[in-house]
Amino acid sequence: MKEIAELVIPWLEEAASVLREKMLEPLEVETKSGRNDLVTNLDKATQAFLVGKIQEHFPEDDILGEESGFNQEVDWQKRVWIIDPIDGTLNFVLQKQNFCIMLALYEKRQSRLGFIYDVMAGKLYWGGRDLGVYCNQEKLRPPKAMRLADGLLGMNAYLYAHNLCNAQAVGDATAGVRIMGCAGLEMIAILTGQQVGYLSNLQPWDYAPGCALLDAFGIPYTGADKAPLNFSGRQPFIALSQPAFAEFQKSF
C-alpha cells in the first residue's frame, strides 16, 4: 500500500496545482440535482485526470466517481477506486477555498488507502489501515478520545435545520455545532482532534476517503439512521470518537 500511495501522491499534487492555477479563470458552472448542487468544468477535468492515471496504472481495477460516467454501481469483486474530484464545489465556486480533492482505494468493500487534499492549505492527509495517517510527510498521532460534551460536532446544515436523524438533539449534547460545507474538511477536523465527530447526508465519494483514514485510527462511523453504509447512493452518516460513538448508540 505504501508503494501505491507514493505513486498516487504526485497525481493529487498535480491536480491541486492545476486547480489553483485555473480557479481564477471563468468557470463553466452547471447544476445537477438543484441550485446548490453544482459541477464545474474543473470538477470534470480533475476526475478525468485521476481516472486516466488509475486506468493507466491499474487497468483491472474499477472506479466509482462523483461525475457522470462513473457514478453508478461498481464491481466489488475488483479493487475499487473512489473519486471526489472537488469536494465542496459550492465553496470552490463562491469562496475559492474550503474544498478538497479526495480519493480512496477499497478492496472487497474494506478500505485500504484514503487521500484528502486541502487544496488551498497545501495539506494532503493520507494513509490507511496498514500505514497510519500522515499530513504531507508528518505522521499524525490519533486524536484524543472525547465524549460528546467535550467537543465540537461538524454538521450538515439541512439535517440540523430540519432536525433529521435527531441532529439538533445530538448537536445540543456537544460543545457546539460547526458547518463547513465540505466533508473532507470535516473528516480532517476529526482526524486532528478539532471536532468530536461529523453528522451529514453523504454519497460514497463524500465519505469513503475519510473513512479510510478513520479506519487507520480506529474511529467508528455508521449510518446516522443506524443502518450500515452501503456505498450506493446518498445516506445519513455519522463518525464520532469512541466514547461519543457509544453515547450516540445508547441515547439517540
The pLDDT score that the predictor gives to residue 69 is 82
Q: Are residues 126 and 160 in the same domain?
A: no
Q: What's the rounded mean pLDDT across residues 189-211?
A: 98
Cα–Cα distance for residue pair 40/28, rounded to 1 Å: 5
Q: Are residues 9 and 120 in the same domain?
A: yes
Q: What's the rounded mean pLDDT across residues 183-205?
A: 98
Domain final residue, candidates 116, 139, 162: 139
Q: Are residues 127 and 171 in the same domain?
A: no
Cα–Cα distance for residue pair 151/245, rounded to 1 Å: 12
> Which residues does 155 contact at the CB level (< 8 Å), separation at least 6?
167, 171, 177, 178, 179, 198, 199, 200
What is the per-residue pLDDT across 34-69, written as a single tens digit (0 to 9) for each?
Answer: 888 888 999 999 999 999 999 999 999 999 999 878
Q: Are residues 132 and 169 in the same domain?
A: no
Domain that holds residue 24: 2-139
Q: What's the rounded mean pLDDT across residues 163-192?
A: 97
Domain count, the chain: 2
Q: Are residues 194 and 231 in the same domain?
A: yes
Cβ pair 120, 169 in contact under 8 A:
no
What is the per-residue pLDDT across 63-75, written as a single tens digit (0 to 9) for each?
Answer: 999 987 888 889 9
Domain final residue, candidates 139, 164, 184: 139
The pLDDT score that the predictor gives to residue 36 is 83
Q: Are residues 134 and 158 in the same domain?
A: no
Give the pLDDT band of residue 206 (cuts 50, 70, 90): very high
Q: Are residues 128 and 167 in the same domain?
A: no
| CATH code assigned at 208 | 3.40.190.80
Q: Are residues 155 and 48 in the same domain?
A: no
Q: Are residues 115 and 223 in the same domain?
A: no
Q: Are residues 153 and 135 in the same domain?
A: no
What is the per-residue pLDDT across 135-172, written as a single tens digit (0 to 9) for each?
Answer: 999 999 999 999 999 999 999 999 999 999 999 999 99
Q: Are residues 16 and 134 in the same domain?
A: yes
DSSP H or E stretch at residue 104: strand 100-107
| CATH code assigned at 87 | 3.30.540.10
The pLDDT score that the predictor gives to residue 71 is 84
Q: What's the rounded mean pLDDT across residues 82-108?
A: 96
The pLDDT score that the predictor gives to residue 37 is 81
Domain final residue, candidates 139, 166, 185: 139
Q: Are residues 107 and 212 in the same domain?
A: no
127 compared with 30, residue with greater pLDDT: 127
